[in-house]
Each structure stands twice: as C-alpha cells, then as structure tokens.
Chains A and B, each alone.
Chain A
C-alpha cells in the first residue's frame, strides 16, 4: 500500500514538475534564459518540485476556502437574517450544498490523466492504486473541510459539536455517492463519469441547490438539530459503505470503460484530439446556406463571404446582446416610473461609474472569437500560400477586417452608449450637457479600442501554429493583462466627464499607434508560427 502511494505520488509529481518547467519555458523573456534541456537541470527541478508540493497543499485548502467564502458565508450575507439564526443558516446551507456537491465531485469517477497513466499505461494494480489514492483524497477532504469548518463556522456562532461532524459528513456523502456508483456499475454495467452527469443527476443537484438557497429566501430553515442528525447520518453512511470499496473487484475494467468513453480525458491527454475538436467546432460555425454570395472582388469578396458565412458566431451574439441592453434600458425606465427613488441612485452611478464600463465593454467584445475564427477557418490555410503573405495584401486585409470587427462590436456599444444617455436624462439629467455626448462617445471609443487591440495583437503576434494551437506566451500574457487592467478599473471612481475625456484621448492615441505598428511590422509578423 505504501509502495503504491509512493509510486503514484512520484508519477503525479513527475508530470506536474515537467508541466511547470514547460510552462516556464513559455513565458516571454524568461524562456530565453531557460535552456531547452531544463528537464535535466537539477536546480530547476528542485524549484519545480517545491512549486509542485505547494500546489498539493493548495489543492487541499484553496477550493474549500473559496467554497466557504463564496457559497456559504458570502451567500449568508445576502439574506439579511438576524445574527442569532446564523448557525442554523450556516448548517442549512452546508448540508444541502454538500449533498449536491457529493454528486458533482467524487474524485473516484473523475477520469483524469494521472489515473490513466498509472493504471493503463504503467499497468499498476487498479484496485490498490484506486483504494490508496481514493482514501488519500478522502483524507484531503477531511483535512480541508476540517480546517475550513473551524475557520468559518465558529465566527458564525456554531459550537464545537456542530463543527466536528462537518468534514466527516462531507467525506461520507462523497463516499456514499461513489459506493452507489460502484454498485450501479455491478448491476447495470454503466460507468459514472462525473464530467458528464445524466439529466437525472443534474436534476437532483438542482433540487439540493434550490433547497439550499431557496428555502432561506422563503424564510424556511431546517433546525440545527436536524442538520446535525443529517450530518451524522451522512458520515455514518460513508463508513457503512466502506465495505463496498474494499469488496469491489472490477476497478480495472471499470476504469478502462471510463477512460474509453471520456471526452474530457482525450482532451487532457492528447492535445491533437483537443485541437481536432476545436477545429471541427469552428468548421461547424460555417453557414452552409447556398444563397450566400458576394458581388465584390478580391479581398472584399473574401471578407464578405467570411462575414456572411460566420454570422452565427459574429453578428448573432452582437444582436442578442443589443436586444438584452434594449430590454435593460426599457426595464430601468419602467423602474423609474414605479420606484422614483431609483432615479437618484442611477443618476449618481452614471455620473461616477463610467470606469465600470471598461470591464463591460471588455466582456462584450467579440475580438478574440473573431480572430480565432479568422485563423482557424481562413488564415490557417491561406497563410500557407505565398501570394497571401505579400505585404500589400496583408495590410489591405487588415484594413477590411478592422472595419468589420469595429462594426460588429459597435452595434451593442452604440446601444449601451445611447441607453446610458437616455437613462441619465430620464433619471434627472445633468448640469453639463457635454456628459451625454461623453457617455456615448467614450463607450464607442472603448469598443473601438478593444476591437483594434485584439486585431492588432493578432497581426503582430499571430499566436497560432499550423495545428491551430496558441503558441505565444506573450499573446496570452497580454490578454491576461488586458483583463486585469479592465478589472482594476472597477476600483476607479472618477467623474464621468473626466474619465470619458481621458478614455477618448487614450483610445485615439492607441488606435494611431496600433495602426502604425501593424503597418510597420505585420508584413513580417503575420505568419504561421513554426
């Protein structure tokens, strides 16, 4: 048993360490300092091992901390119930959420690559491998939930006796679900894959979720003693079902079946399979409508056919978002009539919260999906033809595409800008009429900025290789920075007039610089990555 545990740890650690070293080699600048033979360098391996060990610790606690913080303690704040009901509400949420969570996350029925490597590729004994790793996973659950229970339940007024059964209850529920799934496999031959649950299982999860969050909203809480009894029963059932794990004999056959039918596993194991799925999905987005034609010529012809055949992924979402924004604006206008006090709040928000709209425009922008479709369905093939890489053609097509990406994104942006101006007017207006114009123009500018930004990145960094995989660490880093900056702007509180003018000036400057960069560099950089 100890040997099996040691071997499985060594195996998991090896690919984790290699994964870390590979990731380090993808970071721009850093990769130049890291040799290709990094996998043999002792110092790097120690560093990666430390990170790997830290990650193991993180897996014990991080998910559980977030779960308690958001799903339980965070949700409790929303009900506004008197503090004396806190322990009861805490246990109520925990009991129902853990019951639902046990169906979603069993460890045993998650077809991961570590299990595949160990049991199938390396031929380890399936029963001992599964049992050792499963009990280790259960121990991690007990440790993580034990720690978090005390951390979060005590401040909510739960007693020691209420806290103690929590980790055993959660582990017991998971064990019960797993034992039932083993029994089900024996009886019917069907293997559970927790990444593709049946509608029946999702239905049960939905019922538990509704019971967890819906009942308190209706003022109904299960009494704390009942929660305690349920938790003890859950823990006891886990113990009772222990025999099922020990007596089950078909782990190897069951896992073979699970691996063979798990699409999530093929994605993890084989990058090519994942890419193939991605390509097929992308090709499916091409409209087969035979009435689509174009009367244009050259690159305008190419572009028009592309846009018309990709309406489903380009224009349809933009139109849907526009419709939702229309509905929200109309809804807000109605709310002004029903609850007049709402006007003042909205007016205040509109005058100071323009920075919020950076993340809104970031989320709504179709830039990355546009460039992905461009590459997979068009440039991936055409960039292999010499004629397509002639500088004048690259720049001509860039101009056309810039126009198109701006058009697609401008529709919802125009509606947001107009909607904000209407809401500002209807909520009491402003002393300075320039605010109306600033609201509209700055939202349009933000939209244009993101459109230019994504297309420029695509042309300057062309992140995809011939297999349509993203291979540019710099590209991914800049995408992450774009998100972080947009997110950080949520913290900014500036008058609309000031932030709006700053936005407009920044966007104009950015677009000019981006265009110059593309014109100078794209003929060299717009290539398939090798």
Chain B
C-alpha cells in the first residue's frame, strides 16, 4: 500500500505554504518530517486530516485492488497538545469509541486490556479526563487513534513535553505499530527522528524531499539535513 500526494498546494493571504507537493509514502515505514518553524508541517497535516481545504491537489491510497481516496477512518492524527473530551472518564471515552466503531474494529478486546496495553494505571481509568496529566492524556489520545488501526498515522510532535519514561514507551509503541500502515512523524528533535524513523523527509520551500542517507554515518547524515534546512534560510 502507498499513500500518494499529488499536486497539493495551500496558500494563506497570498503566501504559498505548500507548493504543488508530489510524494509517495510506503506502508510499513515511519517517516520523520522535518522542517523549519513555519515551514508548513502542521498545515500539511491539517490538509491531510481534512481540517483545512487544500487549494489544489489530491491524496489517495494505492493498493493492490487499485486506488481510492482517503476517508476519515483511514487517518489517525495525534497532536502535540493532547486533546481529549474533558467531561468523560478514560473508560467512557474508550467505550464511546468502541461503540461507534463496533463494526470496523477487528478482534475487539476488553476495555481494560487496552488500558494495560497503554500502561494506564487501573486507578486512573475511571477518572475524568480533565484530571489526567499531560502524559496520560497523550497516551489516551494515542490509544484512540490506534485502536481502529488507521492506514495513515499522523503524529505532530507527539513526544514533546513527555517525561522520559512515557516518551520511551511511546517510541516502543510506534515501532510496534508501523507494520501495515504509513506513519508520518513531525518533530523538531533530530536525534529522535534519526532514532525512530526509517526515512527522513524535509518540508522545504513548501515541497517535500527525501534526504538520502546512503554511505553516511549519523554525523554526516545530520550535517546533510542541517545543510538542506539552512539552504532555505539562505534563499
């Protein structure tokens, strides 16, 4: 399976943030999306998630059966600031999600099994989400986004401001989830991108480009990425 973006463009007040993007993402890989502040990473995610309308272009899945447009249920989107319905408990939110995806979830498990999987403690499961810590909200958001097994998982700096233990748990989780789906991971932390991701993609001049790692050690690869990002500044 591939996720193909064709001629995707988006402008704000005359400024072209995304310029005619063409890119193909392959299933089974984690893509690290790097770019300078304001490069348009969140705009790209918002377009793909249907939160904002793109000016031109389309994106679709290419499978053995043919091509089809991306549907909302294909996409999981995890934000850096976790957003969960504050008036529900963790268990209620999970139950609500399971209810409305009854038909779509393959081999549903008991609610507690999901909580165990995400290492959410028993005493926290029936607390209102407004009383969850940042890390717990983040886990809950991630859990909801992965239960339905979306084909495309968009992660917008999801590990920022997590403590080291939770961050490590999340990294392990993402590695275990990558098979059979496309994961695009936006971050400003280059070491994290190099550690976790299979491919590094730069959003530069409103376009996506892969950074070729061939024949380079970690240090050399980092230098190449920085050089490519600096190029934008010098233009």
B79: Cβ under 8 A from any A Cβ: yes
- Kindly identify, within residues 95 to 133 of chain B, every residue whose CB is under 8 Å from any CB belonging to chain A: 95-97, 99-101, 126, 128, 130
Cβ contacts under 8 Å, B75 to chain A: 386
A428 to B106 Cα, complex, angstroms: 69
The stretch that binds A, out of B82-90, B166-174, B207-215, B219-227, is: B82-90
User: Interface residues of A, CB < 8 Å — how many?
Assistant: 29
B92: Cβ under 8 A from any A Cβ: yes
A384 to B85 Cα, complex, angstroms: 11
Query: How near does chain A come to B166, taking the closest CB pair, in angstroms?
Result: 19
Q: Are B73 and A286 in contact (CB under 8 A)?
A: no
Contact of A36 (CB < 8 Å), options: B13, B52, B144: B13
Query: How near does chain B come to A305, taking the closest CB pair, in angstroms?
Result: 6
A139 to B85 Cα, complex, angstroms: 53
A380 to B51 Cα, complex, angstroms: 12
Cβ contacts under 8 Å, B46 to chain A: 530
B66: Cβ under 8 A from any A Cβ: no
Cβ contacts under 8 Å, B128 to chain A: 286, 288
Q: Are A301 and B51 in contact (CB under 8 A)?
A: no
B27: Cβ under 8 A from any A Cβ: no
B38: Cβ under 8 A from any A Cβ: no
- Residues A386 and B73 in contact in the complex (CB < 8 Å), given A283-B130, A527-B51, A530-B52: yes
Contact of A377 (CB < 8 Å), options: B49, B77, B85, B100: B85
Query: How near does chain B come to A526, taking the closest CB pair, in angstroms?
Result: 11
Contact of B72 (CB < 8 Å), options: A301, A377, A387, A528: A387
A297: Cβ under 8 A from any B Cβ: yes
Least CB separation from A306: chain B residue: B87
A169 to B50 Cα, complex, angstroms: 63
User: Interface residues of B, CB < 8 Å — how many?
Assistant: 34
Q: Are A387 and B86 in contact (CB under 8 A)?
A: no
Cβ contacts under 8 Å, A378 to chain B: 85, 87
A377 to B86 Cα, complex, angstroms: 6
- Residues A309 and B96 in contact in the complex (CB < 8 Å), given A527-B51, A530-B51: no
Contact of A381 (CB < 8 Å), options: B72, B74, B84, B148: B84
Q: B54-96: contact bitstring with A at CB < 8 Å (1 yes, 0 no)? A: 0000000000000000001111110100011111100010011
Inter-chain pairs besides A302-B88, A385-B77, A385-B144, 11 sampled, C-beta below 8 Å: A283-B86, A286-B86, A286-B87, A286-B130, A288-B128, A301-B96, A381-B86, A384-B77, A384-B79, A386-B73, A387-B73
15 pairs, CB–CB < 8 Å, chain A vs chain B: A286-B128, A288-B128, A301-B96, A302-B85, A302-B88, A305-B87, A310-B87, A377-B85, A377-B87, A378-B85, A387-B72, A387-B100, A390-B72, A527-B52, A530-B51
Which A residues are closer than 8 A to B by beta carbons?
36, 283, 286, 288, 290, 297-299, 301-302, 305-306, 309-310, 377-378, 380-382, 384-387, 389-390, 393, 527-528, 530
Which B residues are closer than 8 A to A by beta carbons?
13-14, 46, 49-52, 72-77, 79, 83-88, 92, 95-97, 99-101, 126, 128, 130, 144-145, 148, 150
